[in-house]
Amino acid sequence: FDRGLDYARAIWLIKKPVVAAIHGWCVGGGLEMACASDVRIASSDAKFLAREIRWGWHGGSGQTQLLTHAVGPGNASLFLLHGEPVDAPTSLRMGLIQEMVTREEVLPRAIEIAESIAAKAPIAAQMTKHMIRMAQSMPLEVSLLYENDSFAYCMTTEDAAEGQRSFAEKRPPVFKGR
């Protein structure tokens, strides 16, 4: 953690995929940290709120930017300018959360997804996360070229060779992050 960066930016900069488990209220800084995560799983009773506009400012730490990337400008405008709670079903429709489960299932489901990602080739997972971020900030023609370079790099790794061998041998791969 770099003290020069804020808490949500620190989450955003983690190279490994981050899965957020959300239940109850997700307000202000909690919303900012959720938006900085890659995958968000919420309980059906979760409520999301960005109420800073009521006091004369807007959220910082990526709230206006990351939320807009997650839900689009129209939904972000409603969320941030209206300043009223948004329930889990609406958040799911907006794209803020990827799955909605019961309160009892939220942490186990988030862990299940995180473990599934962790079982994949580490270099490929990190590069995929990076490419998703690039898709949000680069023109399509440029990001397609960048994707080809990233793909070529991934194919030079020991993990890619192991993936090909395991596929041919019809067995689970054993990745080493090399």
Q: For residue 68, give the nearest of 79, 52, 57 by alpha carbon.
A: 79
Asked about 52 being catalytic, the answer comes back as yes
Annotated catalytic residue within 52, 99, 105, 162: 52
Compute the distance between CA of residue 12 and CA of residue 63 in angstroms, rounded to an integer: 12
Give catalytic status of residue 32 as yes or no.
yes
Other C-beta atoms closer than 10 Å to the C-beta of 118 total: 13
How buried is 149 (Cβ within 10 angstroms: 0-12 exposed, 13-18 middle, 19+ buried)? exposed
List, in sequence order, every residue forming a beta bridge with 104; answer none if it has no partner. Answer: none
Q: So which residues are the catalytic ones? A: 32, 52
